[in-house]
Structure 1
Amino acid sequence: MARVTGPSMVPTVRSGDRLLVRRLAPGDEVEPGDVVLARFPARPDLLVVKRVRNAVDGGHWVEGDNPLVTDDSRAFGVAVVVGRVVGRLWPRPGALGPQPPTGGPEV
């Protein structure tokens, strides 16, 4: 389980949401569009909830759904995915909504 803090994934998840996360086993894959729990080698103390944009050499490029907040791969580079978000437990239990439209170029 992960607790969201901050606005980087608004509107998909909000600060205070509790998410159910399935830890990745060896060989598990994530796809572009998946919401994941990840770490950045450049910031090993930071554990983040982000959306996978692309697989890159040695990890994944992840970004928040809120383009105004840049605590993601745009600031810290390639991320190592720890787990895939399965759904929201609180305050609105259920699956996460679809990926919001983006205005910028794909990486």
Structure 2
Amino acid sequence: MPATRLRWPLSAVLVTGPSMAPTLRHGDAVLVRRGGRATRPGDVVIAVFRTRPDLLVVKRAVRPVDGGWWLSGDNGLVTDDSRSYGVADVQGRVVARYWPRPGRVPPRPL
């Protein structure tokens, strides 16, 4: 998805691509909270890779690195995460999926 900075404390974001399956699927709409508690390993986040500032991504936070985060997709077959693009800057945390299957998007221990 093209990078657009989150402007509101709670924003809607549409997921595109298969990298977060099965947790999130292409076409899912999620609510993202900017601010609030600090990012923790296992959180699903919205971020921008430092090497791809034009691309806003939905990934899972793995560990803090160099003032940013190492991110991973839940779908191990897709490598468009920190393995390819390096460190990312987190813009917000995914707190819920509201379409088409409403529900929380809980953190997963890594």
Q: Same fold (TM over 0.5)?
A: yes
Question: What is the DSSP-based 3-state SS (H/G/I as helix, E as strand, rest coil) of the residue aligned with 2:84?
Answer: helix
Tell me which of 63, 85, 89 is aligned to 1:80.
89
In 1: Cα distance, 2:18 partner to 2:66 partner? 28
Query: Normalised by the size of structure 1, how large is the TM-score?
Result: 0.86
Query: Normalised by the size of structure 2, how large is the TM-score?
Result: 0.84
Find runs of 4+ consecutive structure 1 residues off by over 6 angstroms: none
Task: Kindly state the Cα deviation for residue 29 of structure 1 after the two structures are TM-superposed.
Answer: 1.4
2:25 maps to 14
16-25 vs 65-74, which moves further? 16-25
Tell me which of 41, 46, 50 is aligned to 1:41.
50
Number of residues of Structure 1 aligned to a counterpart in Structure 2:
99
2:7 maps to none
Following superposition of structure 1 onto structure 2, how do residues 57-72 of structure 1 map, counting pairs within 5 Å?
Answer: 57-72=66-81
Question: What is the DSSP-based 3-state SS (H/G/I as helix, E as strand, rest coil) of the residue aligned with 2:103?
Answer: coil
Mind listing any 5+ residue stretches in structure 2 that lack a counterpart? 1-11
Name the aligned partner's letter for residue 6 of structure 1. Answer: G
Name the aligned partner's letter for residue 9 of structure 1. Answer: M
Name the aligned partner's letter for residue 32 of structure 1. Answer: P
